[in-house]
Structure 1
Amino acid sequence: MAGEREHIREIEQVLSGRTSARDDVVVKSWLRCVDTHRLDPARPTEAYIVPDTQLREHREQSERLIAIARSGLETLFKQVAGQNYVLLLANAKGVTVDFLGDPLFMDQLRTAGLYLGSEWSESRTGTCGVGSCIVTGEAMTIHQTDHFDTTHTPLSCTAAPIFDTNGELAAVLDISLLRSPQPKISQNLALHLVTASARRIELANLMAQMHSEWVLRFSRSPEFLDVDPEAAIALDASGRILGTTHGGALLLAQAGGVDWRHAPSPIGQSISRYLDVSVDDLPSLTRGRPTEERLVFGRSGSALFAHAIEPQPTTGRRAPVEAVPKPIGDLSGGDPAMAATQLRAAKLARTTMPILIHGETGSGKEYLARAIHDCARRPGPFVAINCAAIPEHLIESELFGHVAGAFTGAAAKGRKGLIEAANGGTLFLDEIGDMPYPLQSRLLRVIAERELVPVGGIEPRQVDIKIISASHHDLRKLVDEGHFREDLFYRLNAASLNLPALRERTDFEWLLDRLVDQRAHLAGRTARLSPAARLALIRHRWPGNIRELANAIDLAVTLCEGGMIEPADLPDFALPYLTPLASPARLVALRAPSPEDERAALLDALVAAGWNISEAARRLGVDRTTVHRRMKRLRLDAPN
């Protein structure tokens, strides 16, 4: 096409040294694309989406930043509502780890690379908003033919860097259009908005990390000091700088009278090196004084308004970082796999991120979801919906509600749906993989827009909900088969939790005793397990997981006499396990009567397999991770 040939010719002219009307940042990027990245403008490359496994790794590494930035993204998305903008949050490698866009245009957005998992590094894509922002550390607009690759010339991308508290680039916030007006100046407002949002995300990150330290926030205007400061720094009790926003680093350099590009990092330096302020002055800069009186001066003579925020008070000793709140902590008795899940769940409970829980049927997904809700302390209720249990012809009105007269048999005054009933609280969507495909797009809109439209209605209703979903299906496989929307999968899977099967848990006996006590108490009886009954329960494979175990205990508590549960009181599945176990495989796979027997059996299996973990796992009929976990628990080390 003529337009493509003209674009390639212009790049070649720039490479030959001719002057260009393009912005200097674009010209330098074009030169890098050829000289450093070895890209060819005559060979366009389609947008690249990283594989799902890599995307999951990128998102897990950026999990904390995604949680902090999410509110800023949603606020920005509302500011540009109706203008067809797409928001991308990319990590320092240029991979999109979060995004907001109109669900109606998902196919077009994916094709253009404006999608979750798209990689916009300059080395792969050429000149682009995200990639060039990563290289330069500066906010910019790469508009249409500013792009190096002709594949992306219809796009207009405006990006701003997000720096961590140590001054390292952590992410890029990008706002893009599939189509835009021709003049580049049309994106000036977008540049202002994305830069302001990045600044606020940095500030939120600093406040979250440094809540137990002094924080100084700055503004050149007293009117905005307390509501929308321009920069912030964190200080320890001796007045040394612990962290800054990017604006804070620039401000300190200016106050110290040095060029920020060549100034050493302010981290670890005394605040008095830059400002005429000491730790003793900080209390006088709190909100106890009018904003116009909170004035500080830099060593260069510059003046700024400052707001000092005191360290958050603590009562007694500081709680350990790894502490898990009681509702989540009560879900296990020390199983390593569960402990990792509990720690992750405790961190996620404090965020509004959607959570997807994976686990076999009966493994306790709803218990975990309810515990997360209890730890989040949201004012609204916990509403659980089993997507597989509601008839397909009723599920839409059950979820979204309906207005009066929406259909034959509808309530005369209309009815609030379960989603709206969860407003202010947590919506738990169990067996989400069984949700009818047509309804998935409507749920996607609820997540993206935080609003719903009842059946038969036209006016949207705002909802504030934390969404936790669960499935025993492999949702990724359902996506590949076309039974589950990919965009909804990524929305729900912002963070994931995995529940181990009961047969894999090392705290089985703790859980067993806990259930016996609970079920006996509910039945108004006392009960305990005889050694033979305990052994039969330990040996069972528990395909139904905790739900099957709870049913077995309910039966046993009901049938037992004298408070002692015997094998005869257990379900019929227990009978085959009342004879001695015959092989190392069964001792390991089904649990041995004692740790010593299990250790001996596992050792025999490992020796027989020549200490090949994969082979031992195959012979035992368990996963490699199970063998590794039990080796660690039983203190079995492979010979050198």
Structure 2
Amino acid sequence: MTDPSQIQKARDVFFAHKGLPVDQIGHSILRSWIRCADMGLDAQTVPPVSAPTASEIRLLHEKHEALRRISRPELDALYTEAREISGIVILTNAKGEILDAVGDPTFADKAAQVALRPGALWSEDGTGTNAIGTALAERRAVVVNGAEHYFQSHQVLTCAATPIIDPRGAIIGVLDISAPASRENGHTIGLVRMAVEQIEHRLFRGGFDGCQTLRFQTDPNLLGVAREGILVVRNGIIVAANRRGLSLIGRTWDRLDELHVEEVFDIHPGHLASGRLKALDGRDFFAQVDGEETGQALPVGPQQSLEDIELSTIRQALAAHSGNVSAAARHLGIHRSTIYRRIPNA
């Protein structure tokens, strides 16, 4: 967790207009503070809080029922983690409107006092620097601790959030764990990332009309589960992907609709098939192509639960670091206690 005294020094410099505390605060937090100041937000005031009616919340839920349904397993799985740190798990839409909040009932009541409740909007333009709004603005996982929040009234919180990105690269929501600022929760961002990875993987389940779905990884045991790379190909052009797929081929979302699959892999146009797949940079992958002959999705490995993914990921990290729990925890962005809870004999 960031040193509170360093955060306060950064606030003293920034809000007194003495300069930019680039060495005292994380760059994503500083960029958010700058955006908030540019929008004219006054950190000394209490941000306005709207109170949506039951009817408005019901309409919000109906509009985003698909996102709520596909995210429910992860909310349920993170519920226990949230309660252990006296916190809550939050799901929002792409605007930052809270759809669901579950967790410790005592903290949930306190959180509602600062508008961490269904229907409330937590985008930066209304609520300043916060994990949900800043994750939306930065398009990446964000942790905001205590006084890193722009508004003083939010400094009672510590939050970790990751945006949920659809196969076309659009943000469709945010998953967040928020807890009292007094609680150590440095491990939660790793858990939230893994949960979002599972949600995003589930978005590819139904297949895509007129397309081939390429699932690939360096380890064949990872095919069919959330840690596989996925590219969706139409007429030889990559039109959708998950984050891991783009990371494996070293590309970004802005290459969708223009990148030909033969620019990445050593294949002849129109000959994408399951089996071994070699990248043009020489790397070898194992691949499975859904719908390569019939246009129907082929069966893939069983969908893993979040608990299964956590255990598998932790074991891989421990193996990669020769059983060193501290090194594995740093690699995963989680606390050592999380590893010991999952694998008592680690």
**TM-score for the superposition, normalised by structure 2:** 0.73
In 1, are the aligned partners of 2:214 and 2:232 still within 8 Å (CA)? Answer: yes
Match runs of 1:335-414 below 5 Å: none
Opposite residue 167 of structure 1, the aligned amino acid is G
Correspondence for 2:260: 270
Correspondence for 1:240: 237
By how many angstroms is 1:104 displaced? 4.7
Match runs of 1:184-583 below 5 Å: 186-210=184-208, 213-236=211-234, 238-252=235-249, 254=250, 260=252, 264-267=254-257, 269-277=259-267, 279-282=270-273, 284-285=274-275, 294=276, 296-310=277-291
Cα distance in 2, alignment partners of residues 203 and 9 from structure 1: 43
Match runs of 1:16-27 below 5 Å: 16-27=19-30
Residues 294-317 of structure 1, C-alpha deviation per residue, up to 9 Å, x if partnerless?
Answer: 4x33334444443333379689xx
By how many angstroms is 1:170 displaced? 1.2
**Greater relative contact order structure (CA < 8 Å, 6+ sep):** 2
Cα distance in 2, alignment partners of residues 246 and 199 from structure 1: 8
Where 2:187 maps in the other structure, the secondary structure is helix
Correspondence for 1:33: 36
Does residue 127 (structure 1) correspond to residue 114 (structure 2)? The answer is no
Correspondence for 1:535: none
Which protein shows a greater Rg? 1
Residues 31-52 of structure 1, C-alpha deviation per residue, up to 9 Å, x if partnerless?
Answer: 11111x2101121326544444
Opposite residue 244 of structure 2, the aligned amino acid is G
Residues 166-207 of structure 1, C-alpha deviation per residue, up to 9 Å, x if partnerless?
Answer: 1111111111112443xxxx5442111111111111110122
Correspondence for 1:638: none
By how many angstroms is 1:90 displaced? 1.0
Where 1:157 maps in the other structure, the secondary structure is strand
Cα distance in 2, alignment partners of residues 281 and 19 from structure 1: 48
The 10-residue stretch of structure 1 (164-173 or 9-18) with the greater mean CA deviation from structure 2? 9-18
Where 1:67 maps in the other structure, the secondary structure is helix
In 2, are the aligned partners of 1:68 and 1:204 still within 8 Å (CA)? Answer: yes
Cα distance in 1, alignment partners of residues 137 and 156 from structure 2: 22
Opposite residue 16 of structure 1, the aligned amino acid is G
Residues 59-97 of structure 1, C-alpha deviation per residue, up to 9 Å, x if partnerless?
Answer: 333222221111222223245553323111111111011
In 2, are the aligned partners of 1:141 and 1:187 still within 8 Å (CA)? Answer: no
In 2, are the aligned partners of 1:8 and 1:41 still within 8 Å (CA)? Answer: no
In 1, are the aligned partners of 2:88 and 2:107 still within 8 Å (CA)? Answer: no
In 1, are the aligned partners of 2:8 and 2:147 still within 8 Å (CA)? Answer: no
Residues 476-515 of structure 1, C-alpha deviation per residue, up to 9 Å, x if partnerless?
Answer: xxxxxxxxxxxxxxxxxxxxxxxxxxxxxxxxxxxxxxxx
Cα distance in 2, alignment partners of residues 275 and 14 from structure 1: 52
Which ranges in structure 1 are unaligned for 5 or more consecutive residues?
286-293, 316-640
As a proportion of its length, which structure holds more strand? 2
Residues 356-415 of structure 1, C-alpha deviation per residue, up to 9 Å, x if partnerless?
Answer: xxxxxxxxxxxxxxxxxxxxxxxxxxxxxxxxxxxxxxxxxxxxxxxxxxxxxxxxxxxx
In 1, are the aligned partners of 2:9 and 2:24 still within 8 Å (CA)? Answer: no
**TM-score for the superposition, normalised by structure 1:** 0.41
Where 2:162 maps in the other structure, the secondary structure is strand
By how many angstroms is 1:271 displaced? 1.7
Residue identity over aligned pairs, in percent, reads 25
In 2, are the aligned partners of 1:218 and 1:229 still within 8 Å (CA)? Answer: no
Q: Does the C-alpha gap of structure 1 residues 5 and 273 become closer, same or farther in structure 2, counting only changes over 3 Å?
A: closer
Opposite residue 33 of structure 1, the aligned amino acid is C
In 1, are the aligned partners of 2:80 and 2:103 still within 8 Å (CA)? Answer: no
By how many angstroms is 1:119 displaced? 1.1
By how many angstroms is 1:6 displaced? 7.2
By how many angstroms is 1:24 displaced? 0.6
In 1, are the aligned partners of 2:88 and 2:108 still within 8 Å (CA)? Answer: no
Cα distance in 2, alignment partners of residues 70 and 63 from structure 1: 10
Which ranges in structure 2 are unaligned for 5 or more consecutive residues?
297-346
In 2, are the aligned partners of 1:211 and 1:311 still within 8 Å (CA)? Answer: no
Cα distance in 1, alignment partners of residues 218 and 165 from structure 2: 21
By how many angstroms is 1:131 displaced? 0.4
Q: Which runs of 4+ in 1 moved over 6 A?
A: 3-7, 311-315
Where 2:144 maps in the other structure, the secondary structure is strand
Cα distance in 2, alignment partners of residues 49 and 221 from structure 1: 49
Residue 108 of structure 1, aligned match among 104, 107, 110: 110
Q: Does the C-alpha gap of structure 1 residues 15 and 108 become closer, same or farther in structure 2, counting only changes over 3 Å?
A: same
Cα distance in 2, alignment partners of residues 302 and 158 from structure 1: 34
Cα distance in 1, alignment partners of residues 81 and 209 from structure 2: 29
Cα distance in 2, alignment partners of residues 80 and 216 from structure 1: 35
Cα distance in 2, alignment partners of residues 275 and 122 from structure 1: 41
By how many angstroms is 1:161 displaced? 1.0
CA RMSD of aligned residues (A): 3.1
